[in-house]
Structure formats: C-alpha cells, structure tokens
Structure 1
Amino acid sequence: MDLNLSDEQRLLRESAERFVAESYDADHRRKMAKDPLGFSPDVWKQFAELGWLALPIPEEFDGLGGGAVETGILMEAFGRGLVSEPYVATVVLGTGLIEKSGTTAQKQARLPKVANGSLKLAFAHSERAARFDLAKVATVAHKTAEGWRLAGSKIAVLDGHAADEIIVSAHIHDHQGPSGRIGLFLMPVKTPSVAISDYERLGGGRACNIELSGVELPEDAILGDGSDALPTIEWAVDRAMAALGAEAVGIMQTLLDTTLEYTKIRKQFGRPLSANQVIRHRLADMAMQVDESRSMALRAALKVDSMRVERARAASGAKAKIGKCARFVGEQSIQLHGGMGVTEELEVGAYFKRLVAFDTLFGGSAHHYARHARLGRTAVSA
C-alpha cells in the first residue's frame, strides 16, 4: 500500500499549515476564549472560501468528494493552531450523519449550505447515564398526529450553542417499526421548549447541555426512513474519532517542536538542556510517541469505510493509543519547561488541556481498550 501523500493532499497540507500559522497566534486564541461564541465567524467564512467545509461532501451536493485522509490532513493542521471553529461538529459529525442516513431531499436542502458556510450543525447524543455507550439513549420521540414530540436531556454537545440545526438522537415510539430503535431528528436550534446552556470546553471551544421538554417537530424532521440509526451513529463517531486523533497528533507535534527548541536555548549549569543525555532520551521518547500516534490516526482514517468490526477496532485502537501517547507527550513537555510550563504566558498548558479533553471525548483510553478487545472477540467468534 502506498501511504505517500498525493500532490493534491500535499497542497492541502501546505495551505492549511500556512493558514493556521498566519491566522492563529496566542492573542487570537485568548480572544476566542473570551468570546461568547468561542470562534470567529469571519474565519468560518474563510474556511468556506478555501473549500474546507465542502471537503468531505459528495460532489453532487456542491462538495469536493474528499475522504477521511484529507479530513485528517486538515485536522492535524488545526491541532497545531488549537483551532476552535466547529469543524468536527458541523463537517465531520453533522454532514456525515446526513450523508449516511438522510433522504435525497434532506441532503439537497442542507449539504450545499454547509459547503458555503451558511449552515452549522451539531450532534446531540451523549447522556449522563450512558457512560460513552452509544446504544444507551433515554431521550424519547413519540409519534403524534402532527409529527413528533421529543423529551429528554443531552450533554456535551459540541458547539451546539452556535448551530443552526441540531441532530438529536431518541428512542422512537410510533407503533410501526421495531421497538427500541434509535432515530435521528433534525431540530432547528430556535425550536420552542428547547433549553440550551453552553460552557467553555477544556482547551478551547464551547459545548452545551440541552433540555428537551416536549419539543414538537414536524413529521419530516426524522432523518431518513426511520430505521434504526445506531449503526450510522457508530460510524459517524468512529469517523469523528479518526479526525480528532489527527488533531491530537498536530497538538503533540507542536508540543514536541516547542519543547525541543526550548531545551536548545535554556541553559543549566552553563550548558543547554539538550546537551543532557537524559533530556535527549526524553525527547526521543516523545518523538516516538508522536510518530506512533500519527500512524494510528492514519490507520483509523483508512479504515473509516471498512466493515463495521474492522472500522470500529481501528477507531478504538487509535483513540486508546493516541490518548495514552498524548498524555505522555503533554506531561513531558510541561516537565521539561519547568515552572514555565504551567503559566498562562506560555501556551504549553493550553495545548496540554486540549489533549486532556481529547482523551475524554467519546470515551477515554480504558473505555476504548475494552471496546477494542470486545470487538476482537466478536471477530474471532464470527
């Protein structure tokens, strides 16, 4: 298998890294941290102009038809700048769910708007009692004469406060299909009886909790034909984990580069820190962890469209391994910077916070080691 980047992929990487280097500095990140939206609408428009919002969208819906590898290239560049724009929520999760499950009319009405930057999406699925189990959904959707009535609570909805439309998962009660199936519902964010409380995410960006108190939606709000959406949800989350893994690699590479440069100029007892053999060994270990993480993120991206067990094992393996490597690289970076590593003036702490958030999002390393093992037993028994 040829794992070298194509000319188009190299151009994408170069343009993304250049844009991030020019547009995201410490001052910009501090400004976004204080902004109630958590990101810049002007930068979001630039994403649309550059074609990044259209990247994974099929060409028939005004997209560029890119795949998970191209998304990973872009996300790694985003990691280098701690980009806070809602790319994962809208382009990876939102469009993925609509593309996979939506009707042609639903796709035509939304995907071109995502591509031109006029529509932002969010995915509301996580609940307090679920503990990262995607099949555990307490929110319910009852069929009514006019459409659907939703009731329940969702937590940790990425960028839900800034979305124009939120995709909500709920157990369907309609006396038609099989009981216990999960449906996806398209809900405008300004729908009555929807209460949204947003908060700052660790490491930048924002998320929200959502309370649904008898929310009334039209009949065509359900995504697709109403069949069980759990396989689609699993696919979309695996896809998001591959993208987030690439972002984590970009963060880890930045920490490695920053730490390496610091040890060259920081002197102790008249010698640079990098002259110390123990320090060199630590830096080598950090570099090895970054390379291993990059390989795992690429593997997860390459397996996104494989059969369920193969795809899910690649995604969980990447999430578990990268989470473990990320914590090691972050901790070593802070320690090698000494007391400066935990100050607000130095951004090492901000990058480390984003890595801690990555390790928790969609389940930590322990959860995904267990999932990987469970899927392995399923593959052997099959």
Structure 2
Amino acid sequence: MHLRGLIRKESLQILRDPSSIAIAFLMPVILLLLFGYGVSLDAKHVPIGYIVETPTPQTESLIGAFQHSQYFEPAAYNDMRSAEHALMSHRIDAILQLQNDFSSRLLADRPVPVQLIVNGVDANKARIVEGYVGSTVQDWLTRERTRRALPAGLPVEVAPRVWFNSELRSRDYLVPGLVAVIMTLIGALLTALVMAREWERGTLEALMVTPVALREILLGKLLPYFVLGMGGMMVSLVMALWLFDVPLRGSLLVLILSSALFLLAALGMGLLISVIARNQFVAALIAIITTFLPAFLLSGFIFDINSMPTWLQWITHIVAARYFVAILQTVFLAGDNWSTILPNAAALALMATFFIGVSRLRMSKRLE
C-alpha cells in the first residue's frame, strides 16, 4: 500500500514537471535527428581538385570515374599553384595530378605514378579520402585492362566482403550507440536532479519520519523513472528502425531486457549522485561529468576503445555504457551473438546491483 502511494505520488510529480517529460521523450528525438542527419563519419561529395598536364582519352576516362562517383566533387585546375591555393583555403580537400607521361606509360603497360595530395588536418577524413581515391583509381585501372584485354597487374586479386554493415553507413553505427547516451542522460540525470530537489526542499527527510520503509522509498522513486526511461528507449528504437532504417538483426526481447539492465545501472548512478550531492546544480554537474561524458567518449560509441592507450582502456571497464554499446551494436547489426551479449549483460547487472546497493546504504547512514 505504501509503495503504491509513493509510485502514484512520483508519477503525478512527473506529469506536473514538463522538464522530465522533455528529457525523456523530446531529448531523444532531438539528439537522434542531430546525430542521424547532422553527424556522419562517411566521406561523401569530397571536393577534390585535379590537374591533367596532357589531356588524352585515358586521362578523361579516369577523371570521368571521379565525376561519376558519389564520393567526389572534382574540379579542374590549370596548374599546381592554383590547386595548392585552393587546398590551403579549404575549397578542396585533395589534389590529384596526372603527369605528362600518364597515357604513354599506361599504353606501354608500365607503372603509372599518380600524385595525390590530401589535407591532413582531419587525419581520419584524410585516410578515408586516400582510400577512396586509391579504390577509384584501381577500379578504373581494372576496367581499362579488361577493355584492352591485358593481364591483371597483380597475380592476387582481393575480393573484399563487409559483414554486419555492408553498406558502410556510419548512421547504422552511430544511432545504436546514441541510444546508450540517451538512456544515460534519462536515467542518471533525471534521477540525480529529482532526488537532489527532494533533499533541497526537505521533503525526503519528512518522508523518512513516516512508517514507510527505506526500500519502499527507493522503489517509489526508481520505478516511475524506470518506466519513463524505457519509454524514451522505445521512442529511440522506433526512430532508429523507421526513420533512419537501421537494421535490427537480433531479438527485440534481448534488446529490451539489456536496455532494462542498463537503465537500472543508470538509475542507480543517478541515485548515488543525488545522495552524495543533495544539491541540484552540483548533482547535474557530477552526472554530466561522471555519466554523460564517459558514455560519449569512452563507451566505443564514436571512438574505438582498442585504439585508446592501455591505461584508458582499463578505465572504460567502469563505464556502464561501454557494455551497453557493445550489446546494442551486436543486436542491431550482427544479431544475437551470445558470446558478446551475455558477458556484457552480466557486467550491467553487476553494476546495477552495486550502484543501487551502495545508494541504499548511503541513504540509511545519512538519515539515521
């Protein structure tokens, strides 16, 4: 009876507080729209300048391959000086130079040097552009050799196949990871703010003098925000599947259960923060620093954990979002790979138990 009353009280408070509804349902929509449409790790329509010292049918054919590619927007330059000026002024990202002897070497079946200059300020984009240019030139050279009935230049032919994300769309990689960031904000930030507000107003201390047990107070606080967080997750899932066309190759039930485990861990973190801080501003600041930023930077959402220094890789093991991102990317893109799902789900269950347990102990000590 006590628990039912507490849940009803907290639910009414959520309905009367527009900010909680906005964080749970409006924020996922905004973040998914921003990241889904505004953030991309793909390099498309790259402005590239080209210099053809001696135009021939072969050079025109190669440049045509770039002009018909979705990855490039080629622009012609008369000399290297003007192309370098365009590169330095950021009008183009790369320069491709075809020298005077390009066609003669090609027709004589000799090695053909092609100069490529890439803007390396953004190292990741530079590597992508370099790979795209090399792939375009190699594909064109293969077609040219086939047309002229010449043997392949190399005795080994590589036939690449991409698993799990065959279209190489960064959106399919980013959107599932963004669900973890959204649920971190909903779980940790909302709980931290709400509990801290109760401390500031003194209503929590007043509640403690009633016959209500401490576990009922905790459940009364956690359950409504658990439902709210799962609602935000469902909004994110609907947008991922039907708006951004991200595949869901695994089980929906596995996704929901793992999301529930992660949300419990996030709620536990928010509860622990509010018990320690007892001030809304401080609680919000701590929640952002200890939950949102690690979820964004150290979870594998954007940056590859294996590429980080060893000491930083060890730190990522205390970030709950790391385990949830691994489950999300597996369930969405690969399917129900239990060797990945079960260990990460066990880690989430352990972290949820730890944070909620420590929060309860901390509250009992503070309120005695």
TM-score by length of 1: 0.31
- Larger relative strand fraction: 1
- Larger relative helix fraction: 2
Q: Greater Rg, structure 1 or structure 2?
A: 2
Specify which structure has the bigger relative contact order, considering alpha-carbon pairs within 8 angstroms and separated by 6 or more residues.
2
TM-score by length of 2: 0.32
